[in-house]
Structure 1
Amino acid sequence: MIGRRTALGLAALLALVVGLTGCSALSPNRLPSVKSSVPLDYQVTLQFASVLNLPDGADVMMNGLQVGRVQSTETTDAGVDVVVGLTDDRPVPADSSAIIRQNTPLGDTYLALQPPTGGSGGELLRDGSVIPRERTTSPPPLEDTIAVLAYFINGGSIQKIQDTMATLNRTMPPIKDVRAIASTVSKDLDDLSRNTGQLDRTLNSLNAVSGSFTDSQQQIEHVFSEQGEHYWKTVATSLVSHISTLLPSVGSVFTGGLFLVPLLNSTADAAEAGRGMWDQAPATGTAMARFLEDTLIPFAQKPSVDIASVQAPSVQATGKKELLADAKMLLRMLGAIK
């Protein structure tokens, strides 16, 4: 019994010595990887402009499945060449594109392969294949993303939205009054929708009147033309001349009826001036009917107002403090600060 215990102690001591002597060769890169479940059957080179902080051993994903791992990166004159190991169990189309992604802003970086949306040509990646830089995409640096986010927050956009909503709340009447107005408008629109026949008849009548002007355009133009004007002047002159001749007892002032000639000339000039209005009457009637059918009735059925722009006052000192507090909370959510 004693010899057996002694042998077990010597074995444990020998194992401890071997373990201590081997610690000098132990490193994180030599530890077994938890991602080694995917076999690496062949290698493919991907050419990137930059890879940021893409580590060796990062996952290579396609359609949500792991198809390989990053084996090494090498800097070149034109960018960075990334060598990845892929598995034969999940074939990758030769015309696929590659992009470096992160699940979260501060999460692990991985490499995603994206097959073409319209279908591939049938060829697959094989050992030694190269995906050129034209089909690879490098993500923007995290610092640029944080800078854009900080500019958005510090620029006052959130505060402007809050001020806009506060202004709208102050401008709008109380909810009780809004509901009363909406109820009244709803009843008016409902009544209008039930009497659209009257509007249709009115529009049809206006359309018929404008059509009658159009049908009589030649006669109207003839009446107010130069020949018509000359005719009316001649008739007026002859009529007044004969009537004044039949009434000599009125006196020498009315002899020949010459005093009526300027009045009739003015009347003819006024009629000639109104000729243009009669010429435009059909077009005016058509435009009015189109306005009622295309603008007034649709707006009465579905009234709405488009807000083109809203301006808010600049951010005050208290608003800046709130923006800084919101920025700190956002950075804590991202994990950038504690």
Structure 2
Amino acid sequence: MTYRMSIKARRALIAVAAAAGVGITSGCGLTVEKLPLPKPGQSDDSYTLHAVFENALNLPDQAKVKIGGSEVGVVSNIRTKNFQAIVDLTVDKSIELPKGSTAELRQATPLGDVFIAMSKPQTQPGTELLHDGDTLTLEDTSAGATVEQLLISVSMMFNGGGIASLSKLGSELDSIVGGRGPQLAHLITEMTGVIGSLNENSANIDGVLNQFHTLAGTIETRHNELGQVADTLPNMIGAIAENNQAIGDLLSKLSTTSAALGDYSNTSGQQLGDLLDNTHQLMNALAATGDQFGQLLDRLQVLTPKAASSFRGNSFAVYATATNLDISALTDPEHGGLQDLNDLQDFAGSIIQVLQLVQGRVTGAGR
């Protein structure tokens, strides 16, 4: 009995409510289309962020703001400034976004509405958070590829784009490698050997690079000295240029002298050899006398004034003592003789004659 009464009571209340609704509707002219709809995702406890995008033409008003697929806010306003779109994001106050967060325009489905996906960076405890009124600049915002861009990219890839390039590349590789398998294998083997050698000599290569580094450091430390040398080079070059003629004349004379000495050695080689051989024998003979040659010169120095005084006087008186004197006239009378000044003059004349021949070859008189 009670259950039936409650059902009847409920039905009566529904009928009264319906009648009241119809009366209100018919009296005020209110329709379903005019009823206000709640805005998605909005709440009274929220804060606003501003995001700057290069282009937000497909972003609708009241678009969703999501983090990891979860809705955290809505787009409350879109305006333009300096050819850029400034979007106001109303985010639930319980969501903490650290500085460095990014915003990207995305589409859930190819024909779906565009929404804004927020991403948090990896942060350490104590990182500063975004507050009401902060702005995400162009460096923090981006736009994902739209359906139109995706279709254009696919069309370009298949119609003369990447697929056609890959086909052309495959045909070119086939024309290059076709029938040249052994050559290609040999090339790969050689390249492998070269790479192996480089790997084995990596320590030497590192050493060379270190030496270059050291050289570069030395040059850097000697920068001032090198600059001074570079400053003095123009003066040195100028001095050489001024004396260019003199240097050329000197080189010409040296060339002439060298040629003359060469001609003399070619034409008078036997005579020069004989002269040098006689000089060698004379020096050996003088060396063989040892101290006796010095004693002979001392005694000749003592004997010379006496001989001169004897020749100048009316009488001939010479007193001379010779001991340990080896003279070829005494020891070998048959083949030897006394040495006189003529022998020394002949020796000096021979040397003078050789020097005159050399001078004649140098000056060109005998050429």
TM-score, scaled relative to structure 1: 0.41
TM-score, scaled relative to structure 2: 0.39
Q: Which has the higher contact order (CA 8 A, sep 6+)?
A: 1
Larger Rg over CA atoms: 2
